[in-house]
Each structure stands twice: as C-alpha cells, then as structure tokens.
Amino acid sequence: MFGRKKKEEASKAAAPEKQSQLAVLKDAYKLVKKDSPTAIIWCLLIFVLIVGFGVVIGNNLGHPIYAGFLSIPLGFLAAFFLFTRFANTAAFSSIEGQLGAGASVLMSIRRGFVTTPAVNVNKNQDMVHRVSGKAGVILVGEGGFAVRSLMQDERRKMERFLSGVPITEIMVGDGKDQVSIRKLQKHLKKLPKKLSTAQLREVRTRLRSVGGLNLPMPKGPMPTSMRMPKR
C-alpha cells in the first residue's frame, strides 16, 4: 500500500505541470510583441472596425445598440483569429535555424502522427526524425548535405525492420525538393493514407522497441491550430 502511494507521488512529481490557458496566452503575447510590435494594434483595429460596422448596420435598421452587442463577439473572434496568425508567424520565426526546430514542429501535431526525434544524428548535428502515421513511416531530415546519408541509413533500417510499410522521405529547408518549416505540418497531413488503423497500431508497437535518441529541442509555444489551445 505504501509502495503504491510512493509510486503515485513520484509519478506526480515527475509529470510536467500543465500551463493554464491564461499562461499560454501570456507567452503568446510576449512572443508576438517581440516579433511584431504593431500586431496588437492591428487586432484592436479589426475589433473596432467590426463593432463599428455592426453599429452602422444596426442604426440603419433602427437597432444600433442591439446590433452593437451582437457584433462584439464577432469582432472578438476576428481579432483573436488575427492574433493567432501573428502568434504562428512569431513562433516559427523564434525557432527557425535552431537545432531540432523540425522536431519541435512535428511533435506539436496533436493527432494522427507520433514523432520520435533525432533517431539518427551525426557530429555536425544533422539529424533525422521518424514519424509514424497512416501514410506509413515518414523520415524527416534537417541539416546539411550529409543528412541525406543519414536518411538512407535510416530508410534501410526501417525497410529491414518494417518490411512492406510505406516509407516517405522529407527534407526540411527552403531549397528545391525541400519543405519549409512553416509548411511542414500541412505537408504531412496531405500525405495519402496507406495504412489502416490496425496496421498503424502494429507499426507503432514495433517502433517502440527501436527507440531513438534523446536530444534537447527548442522550447516555446508552437502553433497547432487556429483555436484556443486546450490543455
């Protein structure tokens, strides 16, 4: 009994504290303010314009106050949507060029994909990340020219370990045949689905035995959707 209690206490101590939505918004505000100081002004301007437009329409209909109240939530939604766009841009700008930026973006995808960062790394800090999803196994490389050799090594490893499972290679970057870090999430979600739910479950079970390296990744808020983050 006491042993179980100690284990529960230890697991609670080891578990990371969840941020409240207010704390998430504060972090996002600081990030946006640093990256684009005029962003908040634009958000307020959108809010005022929508509410003002609603009052004008209400005045023409003979109900300016009623229409004004109705336009307030619409103005808030529009301003918040614009704020999230600024937050997304600021978040990507804050991690671009950092070690493991691609892994940070991949691990922020909430549904459909499981990422194991830095499964193959060389001395120049070029690295390959492994992602599993209904598209199969996706190898994402970031770094210099030498990362292509790491990708080939990891591909051969996956072909031996998961024979018949589709393998897709993606290079992160701004060059030809590369995917920019800002478009990485969308690119993965557009990949054709080739595995059933049962097949994906089996693939992930086998991948757990392979494991991966444990390297520090960039910290900070990452965009996952245009809605209020749920914790």
Classify the phi-psi angles of 153: left when phi > 0, otherwise alpha if psi is within -120 to 50, otherwise beta.
alpha
Task: For residues 87-100, give the mean pLDDT.
Answer: 72
CB 102 within 8 A of CB 181: yes
Residue 175 has pLDDT above 50, yes or no: yes
With a pLDDT cut of 90, the percent of the chain lying above it is 27
Q: Determine the pLDDT at residue 193.
A: 94
Higher pLDDT, 186 or 98: 186
Confidence grade of residue 153 (pLDDT, cut at 50, 70, 90): very high
Three-state secondary structure along the chain? CHHHHHHHHHHHHHCCCCCCHHHHHHHHHHHHHHHCCCHHHHHHHHHHHHHHHHHHHHHHHCCHHHHHHHHHHHHHHHHHHHHHHHHHHHHHHHHCCCCCHHHHHHHCCCCCCEEEEEEEECCCCCEEEEEEECCEEEEEEECCCCHHHHHHHHHHHHHHHCCCCCEEEEEECCCCCCECCCCHHHHHHCCCCCCCHHHHHHHHHHHHCCCCCCCCCCCCCCCCCCCCCCC
Please work out, in degrees rounded to the nearest 5, the angle formed at the alpha carbon of residue 34 by the alpha carbons of 28 and 36: 90
Q: Determine the pLDDT at residue 2.
A: 43
Higher pLDDT, 116 or 67: 116
Residue 137 has pLDDT above 80, yes or no: yes
- Mean pLDDT lowest among 5-9, 63-67, 162-166: 5-9
0.85 exceeded by the pTM? no
